[in-house]
Chains A and B, each alone.
Chain A
Amino acid sequence: MSTGFDESSTLAAVHSQLGEINKYDFRTDSPAVFKARRGLDASIVSQISEMKGEPAWMRDFRLKSLEIFESKPMPHWGGHVGIDFQDIFYYLKPAEQQGKTWEEVPDAIKKTFDRLGIPEAERKFLSGVKAQFESEVVYGSLQEDLAKKGVLFTDTDTAVREHPDLLREYFGKIIPPTDNKFAALNSAVWSGGSFIYVPKGVKIEFPLQAYFRINAESMGQFERTLIIVDEGAQVHYVEGCTAPMYSTESLHSAVVEIVVKRGGRCRYTTIQNWANNIYNLVTKRAMAYGDSMMEWIDGNLGSHLTMKYPAVYMMEPGARGEILSIAFASAGQHQDAGAKLVHAAPHTSGRIVSKSISKNGGRASYRGLVRVEPGAKKSKSSVVCDALILDDRSRSDTYPYIEIEEQDVSIGHEASVSKIGEEQLFYLMSRGLSEAEASTMIVGGFIEPLVKELPMEYAVEMNRLIELQMEGSVG
């Protein structure tokens, strides 16, 4: 008979790791092979394209995108983007070439990923890994049997060279440069990111993971990811992101495009723990076709400002979209995170679950859209957003947008805001838990419904990150 605990996925199990320093805040002295000059203009964009030896169509796409970027105003909603775009380095090439084994990766960079535990995770439970350092992917692997089945897992630059037809069918089509100012910026200066193709009927059992690391000061990272899940295929992609703390601000602005064809299944998990001076402005969107399933699991920790609203466009009957998001905002942080569900066909169903935590003056906002297009009959959507506020200085806002242009639908929305109650704290403390332990436990419980959706290793990581955020939260 089991007494019913899953040791490794519980707060209890990771509690013993508390007290270590924040393992992400370190810098590696790693000389760049090439660094574009500071700032942004057409000559820099052309130079990036040239460095990469790109075909003319991509260079033109970049230059056109730069014009769009320059013509678009800053978004007037969300957070304040106080960044000087001319003060950023847009391209930094860290190594001559990508390694197929970790031995081929320059020592300083390899050490970085060792400290982040990537090679170890790869040995234990991953089907493939991409590691991006500054602007380029410096390491890539994919299990041989998956390669034999026709699975493609490369960096996006390689895909431009080696799989141009497949790439061009979708690249910039799901999120065009005109979509928003930051999508335009990414389209102009993008570098690295993952390209994945999963052929019909191929189900990848273990996750593919990409790890994005910003190391240099004032560095902008603009990875571009495209995932194509063919009919009946299945993949779970995980990305982790970190950067050390600098006194100046940095920018991370990614674009992620996903297509899930009929009967396919894609789960995209993000666990990011950016340093507190990173502007994290990311556009993520998936098109889900008949009877397919797209899930975004989005863990937003760290950064100065995050604006990110993963979207699922349900294009054909039977498509399903789910977005589970956790945001944690502490001192000097604004998490403007949420989700978008677009029902563009009848009999589609969606679910948004958002949990936000704010403490020490942090601000967490849920911003979400559920849209039902005319004719999308029998569509169902539910939105649940819960906010937990840990002290009086912190703030939580909810901006739910619902646009329904069809009568025959079922849309539900629930929102709750709670404070860690004195009564809950007292109850736990009356059993011998310190105030800090009690708060951490309550927060852990609050996000548990989402954490339990994560594979065990990531659940442990997520809990550990939350505990780090909670450290010192109680005087």
Chain B
Amino acid sequence: MTHAAKETLVVSNLHVSVDGQEILKGVNLEIGRGEIHALMGPNGSGKSTLGYAIMGHPSYEVTSGTIELVDADGTRHDILAMEPDQRARAGVFLAFQRPMSIPGVRLADFLRHAVTNVRNPDRKEGHELMPMRDFRTELKSKMGELSMDTEFARRYVNDGFSGGEMKRAEILQLAMLRPKFAVLDETDSGLDADAVRLASESIARIGGAEMGILIITHHEQLLEHNIPLKTHVMLGGKIVESGGPELAQELHKRGYERIRAAYPEAAAAEKAMEESARAVSV
């Protein structure tokens, strides 16, 4: 057992099904606070599923395995026993690939609730929110750091946002909530090169020694300012290979052919999943 003297998010032998179909087939992953990990892999390999399972999406059924938060002293907390809001309050965060719009709810109001709850995990509904003045000051400063116009906070959550605006709103939430562990699910998708660079810089600034980050991406550009301690490759619902930052570069340049050839069993699982997905959509 490795026991570094820092908090870790530990995923062990995780199996996850959606609508009875197994997507994750035994994932193992351990991320310490302050570490950046990259998760790469072809479409449909199960990367987003891992993010949803960590956050507790009700449609993603964990059939076996564990997800735990392990304190520096070794105390273990079972994440799977928690509702999504409890997970958020325990310091877990997911930046959505496609965030939901909530018409009529202003981003600022939503964030004030979120920040209050995450910082006071025992808060019950109706209990006081973070003082408006403090919240505004903090929000203004965070938006400034992200080069966001403060008027943006008046808009309804993700309602009519462009792809880029959605991703920046997710990064703003990350900055305000300062989780212990964050999964960033393709926070670079749909962005142009400049926007990706800005996102990459922002994440680097928000992260640091306090935050463990799992970056799900197809590209290495997001990793430019966020050099991963480890790069993991997912194929057919398993992490088949882990390496350093050079692995991300290799996958970005050469694709997944070498991986598929090296792990025929996972490649076969990938193919089977693709076929059954096609059958469902027909």
State the A residues within 8 Å of B (CB). 1-5, 7, 10-12, 15-19, 421-424, 426-438, 440-442, 444-449
Q: Which 9 A-B pairs have the closest CB atoms?
A: A445-B104, A18-B126, A448-B104, A4-B154, A432-B117, A445-B105, A432-B88, A431-B114, A429-B84
By a CB distance below 8 angstroms, the chain B residues around A434 are 85, 117, 125
* Interface residue? B118 (CB, 8 A): yes
Q: Name 5 A/B residue pairs within 8 A (Cβ), A-sorted.
A: A4-B154, A12-B112, A17-B126, A427-B102, A434-B117
A5 touches B104 (CB 8 A): no
Question: How far is the CB of A127 from the nearest CB of chain B, in Å?
Answer: 30
A430 touches B88 (CB 8 A): yes
By a CB distance below 8 angstroms, the chain B residues around A427 are 96, 99-100, 102
B129 touches A3 (CB 8 A): no
B153 touches A442 (CB 8 A): no
B126 touches A10 (CB 8 A): no
State the B residues within 8 Å of A (CB). 55-59, 83-85, 87-89, 93-94, 96, 99-100, 102-106, 108-114, 117-118, 125-129, 132, 136, 139-140, 143, 150-151, 153-154, 156-157, 173, 177
By a CB distance below 8 angstroms, the chain A residues around B153 are 3-5
Question: How far is the CB of A430 from the nearest CB of chain B, in Å?
Answer: 5
Checking B105, B114, B140 against A444 with a beta-carbon cut-off of 8 angstroms, the contacting residue is B105
A435 touches B83 (CB 8 A): yes
| A436-B125 contact in complex given A3-B108, A4-B154, A442-B102, C-beta closer than 8 Å | yes
By a CB distance below 8 angstroms, the chain A residues around B140 are 1, 3
Q: How far, in angstroms, from A421 to B151 measured CA to CA in the complex?
A: 27
Q: How far, in angstroms, from A438 to B85 measured CA to CA in the complex?
A: 10
Name the residue of chain A whose CB is nearest to the CB of B100: A427
Question: How far is the CB of B59 from the nearest CB of chain A, in Å?
Answer: 7
By a CB distance below 8 angstroms, the chain A residues around B106 are 4-5, 10
A3 touches B136 (CB 8 A): yes
Q: How far, in angstroms, from A422 to B57 measured CA to CA in the complex?
A: 9
Find the residue from A422, A435, A436, A437 having the highest chain B CB count within 10 A.
Answer: A437
| A421-B126 contact in complex given A1-B140, A3-B140, C-beta closer than 8 Å | no
Q: How far, in angstroms, from A445 to B155 measured CA to CA in the complex?
A: 12
Find the residue from B108, B109, B118 having the highest chain A CB count within 10 A.
Answer: B109
A12 touches B109 (CB 8 A): yes
By a CB distance below 8 angstroms, the chain B residues around A3 are 108, 136, 139-140, 143, 150, 153
Checking A2, A422, A428, A430 against B102 with a beta-carbon cut-off of 8 angstroms, the contacting residue is A428
The binding surface of chain A is classed by DSSP as helix
A432 touches B177 (CB 8 A): yes
A16 touches B85 (CB 8 A): no
Question: How far is the CB of B179 from the nearest CB of chain A, in Å?
Answer: 10
Name the residue of chain B whose CB is nearest to the CB of A440: B125
Checking A4, A440, A445, A449 against B108 with a beta-carbon cut-off of 8 angstroms, the contacting residue is A4
Question: How far is the CB of B60 from the nearest CB of chain A, in Å?
Answer: 10
Q: How far, in angstroms, from A436 to B127 measured CA to CA in the complex?
A: 13
A445 touches B55 (CB 8 A): no
Checking B102, B113, B132 against A424 with a beta-carbon cut-off of 8 angstroms, the contacting residue is B102
A435 touches B126 (CB 8 A): no
B104 touches A4 (CB 8 A): no
Q: How far, in angstroms, from A16 to B130 measured CA to CA in the complex?
A: 11
| A449-B104 contact in complex given A422-B58, A431-B88, C-beta closer than 8 Å | yes
By a CB distance below 8 angstroms, the chain B residues around A12 are 109, 112-113, 129
Name the residue of chain B whose CB is nearest to the CB of A450: B104
Checking B58, B108, B136, B177 against A431 with a beta-carbon cut-off of 8 angstroms, the contacting residue is B177
Checking B57, B114, B125 against A18 with a beta-carbon cut-off of 8 angstroms, the contacting residue is B125
Q: How far, in angstroms, from A440 to B109 measured CA to CA in the complex?
A: 13
B103 touches A445 (CB 8 A): yes
Q: How far, in angstroms, from A423 to B57 measured CA to CA in the complex?
A: 8
B104 touches A421 (CB 8 A): no
By a CB distance below 8 angstroms, the chain B residues around A435 are 83, 85
A16 touches B126 (CB 8 A): yes
Checking A426, A429, A440, A446 against B104 with a beta-carbon cut-off of 8 angstroms, the contacting residue is A446
By a CB distance below 8 angstroms, the chain B residues around A11 are 105, 109
A19 touches B100 (CB 8 A): no
| A16-B129 contact in complex given A4-B108, A430-B94, C-beta closer than 8 Å | yes
By a CB distance below 8 angstroms, the chain A residues around B173 are 431
| A5-B125 contact in complex given A12-B113, A447-B104, C-beta closer than 8 Å | no
By a CB distance below 8 angstroms, the chain A residues around B125 are 15, 18-19, 434, 436-437, 440
By a CB distance below 8 angstroms, the chain A residues around B57 are 426
Name the residue of chain B whose CB is nearest to the CB of A10: B109
Checking B59, B105, B150 against A2 with a beta-carbon cut-off of 8 angstroms, the contacting residue is B150
Q: How far, in angstroms, from A431 to B115 measured CA to CA in the complex?
A: 8
Question: How far is the CB of A341 from the nearest CB of chain B, in Å?
Answer: 25
Question: How far is the CB of B83 from the nearest CB of chain A, in Å?
Answer: 7
Q: How far, in angstroms, from A431 to B59 measured CA to CA in the complex?
A: 18
Question: How far is the CB of B139 from the nearest CB of chain A, in Å?
Answer: 6
Name the residue of chain A whose CB is nearest to the CB of B111: A431
B55 touches A433 (CB 8 A): no
Q: How far, in angstroms, from A18 to B127 measured CA to CA in the complex?
A: 8
Question: How far is the CB of B76 from the nearest CB of chain A, in Å?
Answer: 22
